[in-house]
Amino acid sequence: MSAPHLPLPLDHEHLQKLVTADLVRPDHLLGAHPVREGEVDGVRFAVWAPNARHVSVVGDFNGWNGSSHPLTRLDFGFWGAFVPGASAGQRYKFRVTGADGRTVDKSDPYGQHMELRPNTASVVWQPAFEWTDGDWMAARGVDYDRPVSIYEAHVGSWARRDDGGFLNYRELAHRLADYVTWLGYTHVELLGVMEHPFDGSWGYQVTGYYAPTSRLGTPDDFAYLVNHLHGRGVGVLLDWVPGHFPTDESGLARFDGAALYEYADPRKGFHHDWNTYIFDYGRNEVVMFLIGSALKWLQDFHVDGLRVDAVASMLYLDFSRTEWVPNIHGGRENLEAIAFLKRLNEVVHHMAPGAVMVAEESTSFPGVTAPTPFGLGFDYKWAMGWMNDSLFYFEQDPLWRKYHHHKLTFFNAYRTSEKFILAISHDEVVHLKKSLVMKMPGDWYAQRAGYRAFLALMWTTPGKKLLFMGQEFAQPTEWNHDVSLPWHLAEHPDHRGVLELVRRLNGLYVGRPDLHTGDMLDEGMLWVSADDTEASVYAYIRRDPQGGTWSLVVANLTPVYREAYPVGVPQGGGYRVVLSTDDGEFGGFGTQQPDLTAREEGWHGQTHHLRLNLPPLSVLVLEPDPA
């Protein structure tokens, strides 16, 4: 069991460390901490509210009476008090009379547990979970040669109970671990974990940066989920949102009657797209609040990494706005946010060794995955350009794909400029964008065939992988956060075939070094044929730069059967099919290859060539036959 830490003393030295950005775990200083003072047990409460006129703590321990336990104003705008007799499990809030004269009951910014929405009180929490994942934690690390295949899941809607209620984290642990290990994923990425007031925000408008949502249980229940996944060999990533926060009065918004956590100028401090406030990255106390939150999940909850949401909105002062304030050099970059992201990644890599930091960043901002101080210091970046180009191509009628042939080759021009994750996330299957299989043109058979081809190309293209839940069995409807996935479809043959394909793709990706060790290297992939626009056929080789093993990928992306299509290969002898998306078990026709012996005539710049039967809307993966 992780021993509960003693809170840091509320003295001048430690408060000053927070103000000067030298205290990376401010939750060890602020918030609610069960302690013993003298011979009396109670809880010490502390909060940052420099503009407040008066602060008290109200809760179950004093009948929510604002006069019973006023907090004392300390140095640098902090407040604190010890409440005798208060104990873990009791609800509380800070009653803040702000600079504007209004008195508002506020949730604890550092609260570790919260009431179930729509209630908003914080809950005094004392962790008691006994971890058993020591070997996992000692071995975890960032290794770009390792396979990384991520299953993205929303914890509130991946599965529900029969009555429509939420699963407990402990129930979710076993069901999710069984499923993702059967499918062969190496990681899960969970969204909706951090406490949030509105289900429809999917967890992206956070009010509890230190608290797992109580919808699925307690913090110890969440710890059980992480611990169990580690025991099954599955890493855990979380979506984390340091770019903005909601306007809910009980949360961080105008916490002490004035702009505190947010920029005061609405041209910098308010997001019109999302109706949210933007963190003030120029205040040390705010920077430490966010870095402390990251470390809380990575250290205390043993989470293996964070996917940092909406990084582009943080980097640019003019992001999605017509009125904006230039930086001190007259530019559009938010220099304070850039400094924060660099500091965040430096601290995480030092304080949580092996943790993975992933940026959701959609621009060409340079050096997102380059080391600090010159880069931002992330380990990976989502390949948003690859995603947009690939989906655009596959949504086209095959008759017109020849005019967009370059959409599937352009990624190769820049794929080593950053360390990329090929991500098909929840954002692509909501808001009338349709599910992935329904984006494909044609009848139902063509849609499934096209989708199988898309998945095979994704899994054989250099870059780590991420796929959102439900898409692994070709869910035909868009994601609905209010209900469980339509699991009954996963047993239907039309959908089961896609599920079996994803399982096979993960098995190949994890088991074959040529499909993952060269993900970040130029020599990890070689185009054999990138310009057959008329036939919409692509061919490339994936290589293990260290071991020398390789495989050939051939895609036919029109609904036309192509017999004896010539494809160049670098050596003679026999070949065998490792994967065909047209196999009957995946829902295809089961097209056969009568002759897989390479001919000595060169083709496509290679010394030999194969004559392949290319099924409609399909991908083949072949390798030299070791026999």
Query: Which residue is catalytic, options 309, 389, 519, 583?
Result: 309
Residue 118, preceding bond cis, omega within 30 degrees?
yes
- CA 198 distance to own-chain centroid: 19
Compute the distance between CA of residue 156 and CA of residue 480 in angstroms, rounded to an integer.
10
Instruction: List the Cα angle 205/432/195 in 5-degree steps.
Output: 15
Q: Strand 356-359 relative to strand 380-382: parallel, antiparallel, unpaired?
A: parallel
Task: Give strand pairing partners of 91.
Answer: 123
Compute the distance between CA of residue 502 and CA of residue 498 in angstroms, rounded to an integer.
6
Compute the distance between CA of residue 437 and CA of residue 429 in angstroms, rounded to an integer.
10
Query: Which residue is catalytic, options 285, 360, 428, 544?
Result: 360
125 contact partners, CB below 8 Å, separation of at least 6: 32, 88, 89, 111, 112, 113, 218, 219
Yes or no: say if 122 and 75 are a contact pair by the CB < 8 Å rule: no
3-class DSSP state of 606: strand
Which segments of 167-243 does DSSP mark as H helices, in order?
169-183, 219-231
Angstrom CA distances, 48 to 53, 255, 291, stand at: 12, 9, 16
The crossing angle, in degrees rounded to 10, of helices 169-183 and 219-231 is 20
Q: At 392, list the tokens.
A: 């655009």
| 40-48, strands of its sheet edge to edge | 31-37, 40-48, 78-84, 72-73
Compute the distance between CA of residue 262 and CA of residue 270 in angstroms, rounded to an integer.
8
Compute the distance between CA of residue 507 and CA of residue 479 in angstroms, rounded to an integer.
26
The crossing angle, in degrees rounded to 10, of helices 493-511 and 169-183 is 80
360 is catalytic: yes
Kindly list the catalytic residues.
309, 360
